[in-house]
A and B are shown apart, each in its own frame.
Chain A
């Protein structure tokens, strides 16, 4: 019921840990941008709605990237929103390219940086064939790791490079194997055995990093688990293992397990209801007037479907393209 550490913190530490001031500041900015609304509804109501939407995770929709990545809660909310909005892509089994996924991301966050999408795609595709097609779930889980642990992964990449070039960031002892040997490595051939870095050494460095890292990192025990299965591994091998590890997915808490990704009974029911209703609608109309083209009605049904769907998703309407399949 009570976690006592919370009470032992100083006021500023407590507020910073929970990002209270971030949200309060943002609430005031939003209020200043919507001055007309508050004269109508009152300030308290405005703040109530703001903080409720933060709780529900709908506050990040259509916001600028700097805000979306500002707190772990915002990142998790964004991942969740992305999954919920575009789940149907996965359900239909469509494969999309990196650019197409980027467009989807930009529908929710107009200034979403291409670089992040590229990095996520690289985890899935592993090499430079960046125009390949990816499944929704592959992209989503890779994107989750890249987006949520962005700063952590940057540090990991630096450590990896150091290890690769023979430097051990943890110790002053210079390994006897000459660093030059590693540098030639991309010349392929006999190197397949020696690709990447040694897992145990890598873990020591990462453990150290997790201790002092001020951004979110995956639970060290799970990182250890990932690294204990192999002798050596490459940076992207590590990222792939992270993205496929369902313990890490659970610890992050934004998305369901991979098996349940397409499973959302409430939404399915809603869609089913819409389909049935639109069919019923159409047959009734056709009965009434045989002649006029059914096309007009279909369009009508479609916009209606969009409305209901957006209300099912959350309080804010989603203006993304919606193309029902017959």
Chain B
């Protein structure tokens, strides 16, 4: 009786052991081929960036991981110096774009990772980032940001470093942040212009557009001086729908005919207001 019982127990435990072993082997398998590690890294990135569409974010993330893996030509003969440089730039850009700049912690982390990517260059040279790479990265960001070239060019002149200069991390971080903020600023200004624009003419009334720019300038001036939160509030109220509408209405009331303002001019002027606030490097 007891023997039967014991045997039954043995059978049962053998079965459960087999199940456990199967689960174990699956876990082992996942660990061995690197799935566990890859998913953990991906999940951490998702949590850091908190994207609006996490699934699309993951698809994009894994696509990049795939491109970097040695299975895709990375392990072949060593690529040329130029290609290597392009790859590094691409990787740095990818890291920089993972989180929006308003999520400052995540963005700062990504900036550091991008900095490491770029500075781990040739074996012979000292580690560090030179001005040439930094400038090229800035150019790439602006080009991909779809802002007109002549609009962002003044910023690049201001925050660029000389080709042979070494770029420290804080300069790099400030440069990246300024660049991304400017791009968003230009995008917003573009949206504003679209509202002002007359679709038939593809241009806006100069007085109204100028009034919008003036209130923008006024708001930015208000931010000068000591870094007091009250300034932010004042700037916000000047740019609030009421303030802006009032200024534009006043402008539209003046009945002088004039040349309409085109999109590029508007964006250029708006960006100039922003860029005037940027401190030059050095």
Contact = CB atoms under 8 A, between A and B. Distances in A.
Interface of A: 1-3, 6-7, 11, 14-15, 18, 20, 23-24, 28, 31-32, 35, 38, 42-45, 47-48, 51-52, 54-55, 73
B66 interface: yes
Nearest to A31: B35
A11 B47 contact: yes
- Can you list the 4 inter-chain pairs with the closest CB atoms, starting with the nearest? A44-B66, A51-B59, A47-B62, A48-B62
Contact of B56 (A6, A11, A45, A55): A55
A15 B39 CA distance: 14
A14 B50 CA distance: 8
B102 A23 contact: no
Nearest to B36: A28
B50 A7 contact: yes
B52 A55 contact: no
- The interface centre, meaning the residue of A3, A35, A52 with most chain B CB atoms within 10 A of its CB, is A52
Given A31-B35, A38-B33, A20 B63 contact: no
B69 interface: yes
A107 B135 CA distance: 56
Given A43-B33, A43-B35, A18 B54 contact: yes
A42 B70 CA distance: 10
A153 B69 CA distance: 48
B58 interface: yes
Given A15-B46, A32-B26, A47-B62, 15 more contacts: A2-B52, A2-B102, A6-B50, A15-B54, A18-B55, A31-B30, A32-B30, A43-B34, A44-B69, A47-B38, A47-B42, A48-B59, A51-B55, A51-B56, A55-B53
A66 B123 CA distance: 54
A32 B31 CA distance: 12
A44 B55 contact: no
Nearest to B184: A1
Nearest to B65: A44
Contact of A2 (B35, B38, B53, B100): B100
A43 B63 CA distance: 10
Nearest to B57: A51
B33 A20 contact: no
B202 interface: no
B33 A48 contact: no
Contacts of B69: 42, 44
A20 B54 contact: yes
Interface residues of B, number: 30
A54 B102 CA distance: 28
A142 B47 CA distance: 38
Contacts, number: 75
Given A24-B43, A44-B62, A3 B71 contact: no
Contact of A20 (B55, B65, B102): B55
Interface string B49-87: 010111110110011011001011000000000000000
Nearest to A24: B39
A54 B55 contact: yes
22 contacts: A1-B100, A2-B102, A7-B50, A7-B103, A11-B47, A14-B47, A20-B43, A23-B58, A24-B42, A28-B30, A32-B26, A35-B29, A42-B66, A43-B34, A43-B35, A43-B38, A44-B62, A44-B63, A45-B66, A47-B58, A48-B63, A54-B55
B3 to A, nearest CB: 39
A157 to B, nearest CB: 33
Contacts of B65: 44
B58 A44 contact: no
A51 B47 contact: no
Contacts of A47: 38, 42, 58, 62
Contacts of A48: 59, 62-63, 66
Interface centre among B46, B54, B55, B103 (most CB of A within 10 A): B55
Interface string B13-40: 0000000000000100110011100110
Residue among B39, B53, B62 having the largest count of chain A Cβ atoms under 10 Å:
B62
Contacts of A24: 39, 42-43, 58
B30 to A, nearest CB: 7
A28 B50 contact: no
B58 A51 contact: yes
Contacts of A44: 38, 62-63, 65-66, 69
Contacts of A18: 54-55
A110 to B, nearest CB: 25
A55 B62 contact: no
B45 to A, nearest CB: 11
A19 to B, nearest CB: 8
Contacts of B39: 24, 28
Nearest to B66: A44
B52 A6 contact: yes
Contacts of B58: 20, 23-24, 47, 51
Contacts of A51: 55-56, 58-59, 62
A42 B38 CA distance: 12
A6 to B, nearest CB: 6
